[in-house]
A = this chain, B = another copy of it.
Amino acid sequence: MEDKTEFKFYNEDNWADKPIPATLDSEYETKAWGFKKPGEKFAPITIARGKPGDYDVKVDMRYCGICFTDVCVASNQLGGTMYPVVPGHELMGVVEEVGSKVTKVKVGDNVGIGCLCDACMKCNSCKRGDEQYCEVGGWGHIYNSNKIYDTMPGNKDVQTFGGYSGSHCVNEHFIMKVPEGMPMEKAAPILCAGVTMYDPLRHWGATKGNKMCIGIIGIGGLGTMGIKIAKALGHRVVAISTSASKEAMAKEKGADAFVVSTDEASMAKEAKTCDIILNSVSFPHQVQHYMSLLNNSGTIVQIGIFTDEHKLNQAPMIFGRHSVAASLIGGIESTEECLALCAKHNILPDTVTVTANQLD
């Protein structure tokens, strides 16, 4: 057995100390919740944000999702966290103020902001709505990111701060209207988990009204959203898990079939059925284990940020025209489509609402 007594949740190396400078005239101050150093407690801090320019929208924050990557970045698990860090990338709020040239939303609108807040808007990826693959200098994340282009208002030398705060202010391009009647306190994870599952279905041709068979590996936050979305799109859905105990939940969320991936007989029952498999697993695994579930011309899409190597044999792939692909969240247009689909089919993530002082 590995000795885990030395395990630290946070990473002591490779983080940056970026003290918050004095607030500029072009900025306003707002309360936020964040971490000053790795290993410290989640606590209130004061940050500055840019006042809205001509194309910017200031949003009075109401709710913000808590995603596992918030925990990872806050604790510097992936390295590269700039402290202080204010996490939160599934923002829901009400428009408080708009710049003079904003046309997308108006004061009082319920809106969301996701991971994306900054991109060149000129490269081929941005032009086709894939801002998350911006080719010029990468894209800016709503927190723990440098301000790369001229998109974000405020001090260019300060890192971005996320949604655990009183308000936020971004360019209207990155603001998404929350569909009428959608409860903001439930919908926030659609901006991350939702679009992370929706966008690969969109990219690999499963949102055009055609009927496919979609496999979903990992029945957690991403997986249950994937089941609901794939089902709403009219597909047959195969839920896949190492744990037989997830079957009832997967079926309750809409899965037509359930595969225990550690059980050969269970795997054999769905052999060669899945046109697309969304693999949300982010712990060590071998993608090849799941390839037998792919239909001819099928694609397995890896979603998890996971850095171990997969051992892949191309010979069996050739005889089924199989692909192993990977996908990262989704662009703004894709997220808006996902919100609309979820509103139409009353799809909401399974959430529990807490206040900031209940977290540590």
Contacts and interface: CB of A to CB of B under 8 A. Distances in A.
B307 A315 contact: yes
A301 B318 CA distance: 9
A319 interface: yes
A201 to B, nearest CB: 13
Contacts of A323: 299, 323-326
Interface string A319-345: 111111111100000000000000000
A305 B318 contact: yes
A73 B297 CA distance: 26
Nearest to A314: B302
A106 interface: no
A270 to B, nearest CB: 14
Q: How large is the interface on A (under 10, 10 to 19, 20 to 34, 35 or more residues)?
A: 35 or more
A9 interface: no
A246 interface: no
A302 B325 contact: no
B322 A317 contact: no
A162 B322 CA distance: 28
Contacts of A304: 314
A328 B321 contact: yes
Contacts of A272: 135
A146 interface: no
Nearest to A307: B315
A319 B304 CA distance: 11
Contact of A321 (B317, B318, B325): B325
A133 interface: yes
A311 interface: yes
A118 interface: no
A125 interface: yes
Contacts of A11: none
A310 B311 contact: yes
A317 B326 contact: yes
A302 B315 CA distance: 9
Given A317-B326, A321-B327, A322-B325, A133 B306 contact: no
Contacts of A318: 302-303, 305, 326-328
Nearest to A123: B296
A242 to B, nearest CB: 18
Interface of A: 124-125, 130, 133, 135, 203, 272, 287, 296-297, 299, 302-315, 317-328
5 contacts: A309-B313, A314-B326, A318-B327, A322-B325, A322-B326
